Amino acid sequence: MFTGLIEAIGFVSKMERRGEFTRIAFSSPWGLTEIKAGDSISVNGACLTVVGVDGKTFTVDVSKETVTRTTLGELKSTYSVNLERPLTPADRLGGHLVLGHVDGTATITGMLEEGGSITITFRTSEDLLPYMVEKGSVAIDGISLTVNECGGNEFSVTIIPFTSERTTIGRKRVGDKVNVETDIIGKYVQRFLSGQKHEGRTPKSGLDMDFLAKHGFK
């Protein structure tokens, strides 16, 4: 579990295809005493397992599924990535609950700078938009951000200078792709309201008077 508050920027130091998966080594500010084999780590919003540590370089294995669903398969040597270690019980939850399970990708279609902040517009698949609401949360390359507007197959966020300087988002350009994870709470709400198949039947979905009456609203 992560917060979407990026701790550091790392760099790709080596990539190697190994059958159905890709082994990637990243340089990071953390050493042997701070991360170890078996730990989870968020790399551009994707939760990965550390399989080895050598000094301040850690290695992960990326499955075919992850390569297909995220932008990790497009990484190259020296590319920069956002890094975050998982929550501990004593941590403050300053962003929002981020699982590191990327839902898909989005492409930057517009960037507008105003007063030092940057409003970025993204185009994504329409199946992700139902899980986004204005002023709700979304993770972009692992960064916890607030949705400004959403509709059709586009949504926008505003990046403050602090975030731009301390993550990779400030280095992005129109046409670049990013990883997207929608809010886990929104997923469960959408799933609940859309109805579940039960005993071979699909219940009526959405909110209506029968639904409200059944759940105590008179």
**Structure confidence at residue 200 (pLDDT):** 47
**Structure confidence at residue 195 (pLDDT):** 65
Distance CA 83, CA 146 (A): 19
Q: How many CA atoms lie within 13 A of 27 on its CB side?
A: 8
Q: What is the DSSP secondary-structure string of 180-195?
A: EEE-HHHHHHHHHHH-
E strand or H helix that includes residue 165? helix 161-166
**Structure confidence at residue 4 (pLDDT):** 94
**Structure confidence at residue 14 (pLDDT):** 94
Question: What is the set of domains in the chain, with CATH numbers?
Answer: 8-84 (2.40.30.20), 104-191 (2.40.30.20)
**Structure confidence at residue 58 (pLDDT):** 96
Mean pLDDT by 10 residues, the chain (218 residues): 94 91 94 89 97 94 93 94 91 87 97 94 93 94 96 95 95 97 86 59 51 55
Distance CA 139, CA 143 (A): 5
**CB within 8 A of 178, min separation 6: which ones?**
44, 71, 105, 106, 107, 108, 122, 140, 141, 169, 172
